[in-house]
Amino acid sequence: MPALKIIKMSILRALCSRIRLFLDIVIDFIFSLYWECKNKKLPDLDEKHAFLADSAVSLAQRIKSKQLKSEDLVKAIIERIKQVNPILNAVVTERYEDALNEAREVDRLVSAGLSEQMAKKPFLGVPFTMKESQAWKGMPLTLGLWSRRNERAVEDSEAIIRLREAGAIPLAATNLPELLIWQETRNPVYGMTVNPQHTGRTPGGSSGAEAALTATYATSISLCSDVGGSTRMPAFYCGMFGHHPTANTTCMRGVLFREGNEDSMFCLGFISRHVEDLVPLTKIITAQKADKLNLDRKINLRNVKFYYLDSSSDCLVSPLRSEMTEAIMKVVENLRGNLKVEVQPYHHKGFDYMYRLWSYWMSKEPGNYFKLATNSEVELNAWTEMGKKLIGMSKHCLFLILRCLELRAFPQLDSVWAEKITQELKDDLANKLGDNGVLLMPSAPHAAPYHYSFYLRPYNFAYFGIVNALKHPATQVPLGTNSKGLPLGLQVLSTPYNDAVCLEVAKYLEKEFGGAIMPCAIKNKA
Query: Angle 382-390/398-409 helices, nearest 10 degrees?
Result: 140
Residue 121 CA to residue 130 CA, distance in Å, equals 20
Residue 34 — φ and ψ, nearest 5°? -95, -45
Residue 397 — φ and ψ, nearest 5°? -75, 155
Name the burial class of residue 456, with classes exposed (0-12), middle (13-18) and buried (19+) by CB atoms within 10 angstroms of its CB.
Answer: middle
3-state secondary structure of 220: coil
Q: Which residue from 486, 493, 522 is spatially nearest to 246, judged by alpha carbons?
A: 493
Residue 122 CA to residue 38 CA, distance in Å, equals 41
Residue 76 — φ and ψ, nearest 5°? -65, -40
Catalytic residues: 131, 206, 230
* CB proximity list for 472: less than 8 A, separation 6 or greater: 246, 247, 426, 429, 493, 494, 495, 496
Asked whether 218 and 81 are in contact (CB, 8 A), the reply is yes
Read out DSSP for 155-181?
S--HHHHHHHHTT-EEEEEE---GGG-
**CA torsion, points 117, 120, 121, 123, in degrees to nearest 10?**
150
Distance of CA 170 to the CA centre of its chain: 20
List % helix, strand, coil for the chain (3-state, nearest 5): 45, 15, 40
* CB proximity list for 40: less than 8 A, separation 6 or greater: 87, 199
Q: Which residue from 357, 362, 354 is spatially nearest to 318, judged by alpha carbons?
A: 354
Beta bridge partners of 487: 481
Residue 514 CA to residue 236 CA, distance in Å, equals 14
Query: Angle 499-513/322-334 helices, nearest 10 degrees?
Result: 100
